């Protein structure tokens, strides 16, 4: 079984959104993903990190933690904040639902993560933070065998 692990911590600044998605994409590249798979993972990471900055910390300064694990041909990405937590996780997962309509948020963040990845779990505790766990299986390695 092939295993690898990495952890990244950064300030909740919007300029770090691109930093985080590029790092995870670079880590995932050892699985030899297709361009589409790489684009999917970048998009999903961007959604989760943006949520941590806007909703978790509400633009205040905090630390966002991104962990990623590779097990065989699957990648697991965990995005965690120690912010305010989600009041109603089921509601937040609904397409087009946003707690911040005045900011022109589309309400599609979790829907995009669900569609672009193969699994999405959300753990959130009010006042303590949110942990989003996503996984994706890459098919490109198998194609070569």
Partner 1 sequence: MYLSVEKHKNNLLVQLKGELDHHNTEMVRQKIDKQYFEHRIKNIILDLRGLTFMDSSGIGLVMGRYKNILENGGKIVMVNDNEYVEKILKVSGLLKIINVYPTIEKAMENI
Work out which of 23, 76, 112, 141 binds partner 1, going by CB under 8 A: 112
105 belongs to the catalytic site = yes
- Contact between 42 and partner 1 (CB under 8 A)? yes
Binding segment for partner 1 (CB under 8 A), chosen from 36-44, 70-78, 79-87, 127-135, is: 36-44
- Contact between 136 and partner 1 (CB under 8 A)? no
51 belongs to the catalytic site = yes
Nearest distance from C-beta of residue 41 to partner 1, angstroms: 12
Work out which of 17, 37, 80, 81 binds partner 1, going by CB under 8 A: 17
SS3 per-residue string spanning the chain: CCEEEEEEEEECCCCHHHHHHHHHHHHHHHHCCCHHHHHHHHHHHHHHHHHHHHHHCCCCCCEEEEEEEEECCEEEEEEEECCCCCCCHHHHHCCCCCCCHHHCCCCCHHHHHHHHCCEEEEEEECCCEEEEEEEEECCHHHHHC
47 belongs to the catalytic site = yes
- Contact between 64 and partner 1 (CB under 8 A)? no
- Contact between 108 and partner 1 (CB under 8 A)? yes
State the catalytic residues. Answer: 47, 51, 105
């Amino acid at each position: 079984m092939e295993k690898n692990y990495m952890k990244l911590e950064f300030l909740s600044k919007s300029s770090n959104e691109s930093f985080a998605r590029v790092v995870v994409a670079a880590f995932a590249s050892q699985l030899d993903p297709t361009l589409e798979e790489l684009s999917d993972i970048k998009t999903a990471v961007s959604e989760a990190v943006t949520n941590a900055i806007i909703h978790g910390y509400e633009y205040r300064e905090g630390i966002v933690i991104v962990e990623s694990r590779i097990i065989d041909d699957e990648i697991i990405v965990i995005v965690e904040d120690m912010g305010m937590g989600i009041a109603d996780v089921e509601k937040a997962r609904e397409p087009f639902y946003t707690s911040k309509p005045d900011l022109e948020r589309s309400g599609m963040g979790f829907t995009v993560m669900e569609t672009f990845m193969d699994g999405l779990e959300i753990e959130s505790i009010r006042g303590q933070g949110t942990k989003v766990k996503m996984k994706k299986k890459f098919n490109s390695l198998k194609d070569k065998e």
